[in-house]
Structure 1
């Protein structure tokens, strides 16, 4: 069971360098409640410009992870030629599940393949839904007893658009009252993270805001996570 309210962090495997990545992951122990370990992709189409650039900068992935529950995060488009390899890697790394932002957007007809591979490898299902999602699909996902359902708030990571994000969180809470709901994309301040939890999210994920700081200094990036964590604990 993930902590409520929970702080999640996304970091691309091995970025910005092997040394900085390992230091950052080590510093997350006791600080983050779950971790999204990004798989480098040649076409990270639902990431924003900053993270898309980071994908191109990874020379060799590093698969270190913190002690917190970890989920591999990649693209189904990259794995669908040999999808079993992805789930076997997740299991071998001790991850709890595989999160695929494009699965239900571009390949919804392959959901059953995802669920089958998840079960066969002893993993927990986790799902990403875009800001506009079919209510019937949300209910079906909730029935599969996922570790969480991640609601993307904007069109791409790190890019904020003028939409009423709290509304989506509240709708998902009504559709799936017992499911752990994660909100992410453009969560760049402790105040914004706290606002999403007050709207009904169980956890928030920071990615771009953390990675921007990590590129400058590991300590600055970890201090930012501590500030977000404190805002959640103070609720």
Structure 2
């Protein structure tokens, strides 16, 4: 009797799941009939934070590491006619880079050997390490070229919930306070560090433009350029006199429901 009860409960649970799946499938089909498409995207981004325009203080970029920046996004598209639609999404993304450069009279703040922080101008080698994790809300207008390809462009707003901006300097000299201040030399075997992680801005807004191509019935490949209107540090942060803007190119695969 107990075995029959367990079997009956199992059959009921299986039937409930089947009915639930059938209801979900009907809901998706109903949405498609009313002009909606749903996509799940996953991919990688490559880029960095850059001053616009490039500063004269940056004499050369010695090395660049784009890191492995992953993003996952869900999109819903409402098509108003055979060609035009509105795309709304929710994206979790990582941004980051490591750069090594040679600079001259670059204004910054350093943690010296005694633990004291000093502002001034640095000439020499500098390494910067940037990382950020954000949740992003993109909204774009889409144009369907044909049954296989579409392009889209729009705006996005993001909130950074984690991030860091750190680095070190070496093989150069530091002028305390100003370009003519007291000089402190740092040979190649000596370095000073900096950490501006707590100063990073929480909010970001920018534009994005890209396109996708349907490779199979449900699978698409896509590419997108994303450029921020807002720098990674707020206007109240004056330790770095330059404004750094995130600019990234993203590519990946998408599943079309």
Larger Rg: 2
Q: Which has the higher strand share?
A: 2
TM-score band, normalised by shorter chain: under 0.3
- TM-score w.r.t. the length of structure 1 is 0.21
